[in-house]
Structure 1
Amino acid sequence: MTAYVALIRAVNVSGTGKLPKDDLKAIGEACGFDKVRTFINSGNLLFASDLAEATVQERIKERLVAYFGKPTPVFVRSAREMAEAGRQNPFSDDKPSRVMAHFIAENSAQSMIDEARDVVGERMALGPRLIYVSYGEGIGQSKLKLPAVKQGTARNMNSVAKIAELLAGME
């Protein structure tokens, strides 16, 4: 069995996409997953399954369409991938709360960083299906525009580390 996290975009942030943790957990259980739980109230569904990543992603997306009445982006990562995302953080010299892992659907490429605009002190680096951004003074002050992550979802490195730890305990 593989431990996975489904990172759901724009849930319980700025008044959009309200999805209480209990409802999210029920979605995971309705998908037939094992060891279903959530982590904080921002769209993190942890579970175990024998199914392939693409299959679990589709099951969750179908349930979210039924819940919200519209498609919602979902990014599924295995326990190994989340642990690797934490280990590969190129900005460990910055506060973990100010470094975001922007999870995206496709493989990252240098052209994605090259498209960034309004860069003022932010540092960026590529990871596997993610882009790391160190926001230095904090994300609230940033004017950074990074088109590659517009349809992605981000978690700070504190959350990445905790999710990886929780997933490790599920395998």
Structure 2
Amino acid sequence: MELITYVTFLRGINVGGKRKVPMEELRAICERLNLQDVKTYIQSGNIIFKSSIAKTDHLANILHDEIQKYFDFDVPIIVKTIDGLSRIIEKNPFVSQDDITANRIYFVLLNSFPAIELLENLSQETFENEQYAVVDNCLYLKCALGYGKAKLNNNLIERKLKVLATTRNYRTLNKLQELCN
């Protein structure tokens, strides 16, 4: 049975002392679910593992249910294959080294493709000091003043596009890709 490498993103944990999920406990949960070669990266809920399960939504549901049972709160989860993550990184339209170095580039990972009419509605809006592009199931975001001051943040994107989303910066996504290889 072939093992597939996955990168999993938990949304909204370990922020401001709320919804604490220690990485050691998260790794233990993954190992109890028979996920292989489990690694976590930083405290924001990034997990790399291998599994023979071929469906990302099935893995997301299994992890979600187990984490909810263990920690007694809801944690939205997005699962990508390493190939899917690599495609997201490759399609990034914001490639200025100055922007990357200054930490202005963000990836808003979407759990599904937004409805065309919702994307069209969003495209009618402008956000000062921010540029974005939606390619497949990722909204690429360039924040001239940094993500902390962004109006087009994760919560707004979820509301406008009616999809689950979680945001990571350029460095984090590239480090996760590196850890997979």
User: Shared fold (TM-score greater than 0.5)?
Assistant: yes
Aligned match of 1:4 = 6
1:19-98 maps to which residues of 2 (within 5 A)?
Answer: 19-52=21-54, 53-93=56-96, 94-95=99-100, 97-98=103-104
Question: Relative to structure 1, is the Cα distance of residues 6 and 24 closer, same or farther in structure 2, using a 3 angstrom cutoff?
Answer: same
Give the total of aligned pairs.
Answer: 168
Q: Which moved more, 1:14-23 or 1:43-52?
A: 14-23
Shift of 1:31: 1.2
Q: Which amino acid aligns with 2:32?
A: A
Shift of 1:19: 0.6
Tell me the alpha carbon deviations over residues 30-84 of structure 1, each in whole angstroms, 9 at most, x when there is no partner: 1110001101111011100010222211210111111232332100001111111
Q: Which amino acid aligns with 1:95?
A: I
CA contact (8 A) 1:5 1:77 kept: yes
Shift of 1:114: 3.4
Structure 2: distance between partners of 1:84 and 1:138: 24
SS of match in other structure, 2:74: coil
Shift of 1:154: 0.5
2:143 pairs with one of 123, 135, 138: 135
> Does residue 1:100 correspond to 2:106, yes or no?
yes
SS of match in other structure, 2:9: strand
| TM-score after normalising by structure 1 | 0.88
Give the alignment's Cα RMSD to 1 decimal: 2.0
Aligned match of 1:155 = 168
| TM-score after normalising by structure 2 | 0.84
Structure 1: distance between partners of 2:51 and 2:32: 13
5+ residue gaps, structure 2, are none
CA contact (8 A) 2:114 2:163 kept: no
SS of match in other structure, 1:137: coil
Structure 2: distance between partners of 1:19 and 1:113: 37
Between the aligned residues of both structures, percent identity stands at: 26
Shift of 1:109: 5.4
Tell me the alpha carbon deviations over residues 78-130 of structure 1, each in whole angstroms, 9 at most, x when there is no partner: 11111111111111122262211111111145533632756102111112321
1:117-128 maps to which residues of 2 (within 5 A)?
Answer: 119-128=127-136
Aligned match of 2:121 = 114
CA contact (8 A) 1:102 1:149 kept: no
Aligned match of 1:166 = 179
